[in-house]
Amino acid sequence: MPMTRSMMRGLVVGAACIALAVVPWLGAAHPSAAGAGTGADEKDVGFGDPRHGDVPEGAAAMITPETDRVIESGLAWLARSQNADGSFGTGTYRGNIAVTSLAGLAFMATGSSPGRGPYGPQIDRALEYVMDNTSPSGFIAVAAASTHGPMYSHGFGTLFLAEAYGMTHRTEIREKLQKAVRLIIDTQNSEGGWRYQPVRRDADLSVTICQINALRAARNAGLYVPKETVENCIHYVKQSQNPDGGFRYMLQGGASSFPRSAAGVVALYSAAVYDAKEVEAGIAYLKQYMPEIKLGSRYSHYFYGHYYAAQAMWIRGGEDWNTWYPAIRDELIRRQSPTAGFWSDSICNEYGTAMALIILQMPNNSLPIFQR
């Protein structure tokens, strides 16, 4: 009989909008990219230390028995939904790298890891699919499985590889991961961000958070990321903030919104910017949405926004986390299909379900990218 999540909780293992593949044009390698994944002088290494500290007090108790049942049914539905080739997703998103990677992360959030735990087999098959679709250049995307910019898939795919490598230290994962990291470094544009395609022409905040989060995970797993890359990204994200504390889509202008503002705060946290005025203003902006969460409001990119908002509040900790998590937990419980166990989303139900499960399981502190 497989272990339940409750049994697994003490056995943690190891330390959105999505993609149309194109042939990547990388141009000449960025000068600081040559050492990617190989180590370098400490002064040249990007990222400060991740925020350390105890898991927020009472975090485990926030996963109530009802939440546990909801998570169990969601995981069971997601496991049944895995495609024969190891991928996840349906319709135009069938086999999508980002959806597949998020599903793998949702299983990892239980405490399972590649080859270990109740969902080890599902993680292994998803990991094999992502690795099989990593090109010699390091680009991770599937041409027939996307409708949007391929760098979304690349970012989430790189994050998944980094988490898997951090848990296993398998050489074949590291080889793919190094190339994927180098591609991110090489394609950062002059503003400090990234855009839909693996070229340096322009940038937007939504794609940028996918890349910096992936680089943070890779650095946590022991790979080299140049300091220049991180500093340029920090500059880009700070320049994307509006006077109201929220973040706009591109530097050229635009209104703030909840999803991209949550992404902006997490981008700064991922780059080890914890106490800057931009972070404080961003958190204050996000907290304005608490009444809407409790009222069950709906808006564009719902799961994407809450995926990053939950990360922001988890890293923030304290009363902000203690208030935020129960609100989004209860709302996600209400949104789950009571009979099937999935969460519906216009992208695909596998995407919504994976996102919801990652959010709900955050108190487990199992994913290395979230660990405190």
Q: Give the chain's domains with CATH numbers.
A: 16-370 (1.50.10.20)
Q: For residue 16, what pLDDT is reported?
A: 39
- Per-residue confidence in pLDDT tens, the chain, 372 aa: 444 455 445 443 333 333 333 333 333 344 444 445 444 555 666 676 665 556 667 788 999 999 999 999 999 999 999 999 999 999 999 999 999 999 999 999 999 999 999 999 999 999 999 999 999 999 999 987 766 789 999 999 999 999 999 999 999 999 999 999 999 999 999 999 999 999 999 999 999 999 999 999 999 999 999 999 999 999 999 999 999 999 999 999 999 999 999 999 999 999 999 999 999 999 999 999 998 887 766 667 999 999 999 999 999 999 999 999 999 999 999 999 999 999 999 999 999 999 999 999 999 999 999 987
Residue 216 and residue 369 in contact, taking contact as beta carbons nearer than 8 Å: yes
Residue 45 has a pLDDT of 62
pLDDT at 143: 80
Query: Does this model's pTM top 0.75?
Result: yes
pLDDT value, residue 29: 40
- What is the pLDDT, as a whole number, of residue 339? 93
Give the Cβ contact number of residue 276 at 10 Å. 12
Residues sharing a CB contact under 8 Å with residue 143, sequence separation 6 or more, in sequence order: 20, 21, 22
3-state secondary structure the chain: CCCCHHHHCCCCCCCCCCCCCCCCCCCCCCHHHCCCCCCCCHHHECCCCCCCCCCCCCCHHHCCHHHHHHHHHHHHHHHHCCCCCCCCCCHHHCCCHHHHHHHHHHHHCCCCECCECCCHHHHHHHHHHHHHCECCCCCECCHHHCCCCHHHHHHHHHHHHHHHHHHHCCHHHHHHHHHHHHHHHHCCCCCCCECCCCCCCCCEHHHHHHHHHHHHHHHHCCCCCEHHHHHHHHHHHHHCECCCCCECCECCECCCCHHHHHHHHHHHHHCCCCCCHHHHHHHHHHHCCHHHHHCCCCCCCHHHHHHHHHHHHHHHCHHHHHHHHHHHHHHHHHHCCCCCCCCCCCCCHHHHHHHHHHHHCHHHCCCHHHCC
Phi, psi (5° rounding) for residue 318? Answer: 65, -150
Taking the C-alpha atoms of residue 69 and residue 144, their distance in angstroms, rounded to an integer, is 35
pLDDT given at position 50: 62
The answer to whether residues 37 and 181 touch, using CB atoms and an 8 Å cutoff, is yes
- CA distance readout (Å), 199 to 85, 189, 196: 30, 8, 8
**pLDDT of res. 291:** 82
